[in-house]
Homo-oligomer: A and B are copies of this chain.
Amino acid sequence: MTMAEATALLADVPGWELLDFGRKLRRTFTFHNFMLAQSFAVETGNLCESENHHPDISYGWGYCTVVFYTHKIGGLHRNDFVMAARVNALRMP
């Protein structure tokens, strides 16, 4: 999709930002310790495995960063935004 299309879709995924000129989608979530960050990483990873759409996940003390992009098109697909919204939902109370 174009950068303009990606920017428009951002409104549907609060907290996410575009990287690499619209080729990737990233959000960092914060936590109060290491284990909460790891648990969120795993919850995110398990969700994505079930959809066979794998993100890059980074975590450490107090944070977990998730990056989506679609390898086979070298950029973003609508499905990346669907997954980002589902990851946001994991974080909701």
Contacts and interface: CB of A to CB of B under 8 A. Distances in A.
A54 interface: yes
Contact of A45 (B38, B49, B56): B38
A34 B60 contact: no
Contacts of A46: 38
A54 B58 contact: no
Interface residues of A, number: 17
Interface of A: 34-35, 38, 41-42, 45-46, 48-49, 54-61
22 contacts: A34-B45, A34-B49, A35-B45, A35-B49, A38-B41, A38-B42, A38-B45, A38-B46, A38-B49, A38-B57, A41-B41, A41-B57, A42-B42, A45-B59, A54-B60, A54-B61, A56-B58, A56-B60, A57-B58, A57-B59, A57-B60, A58-B58
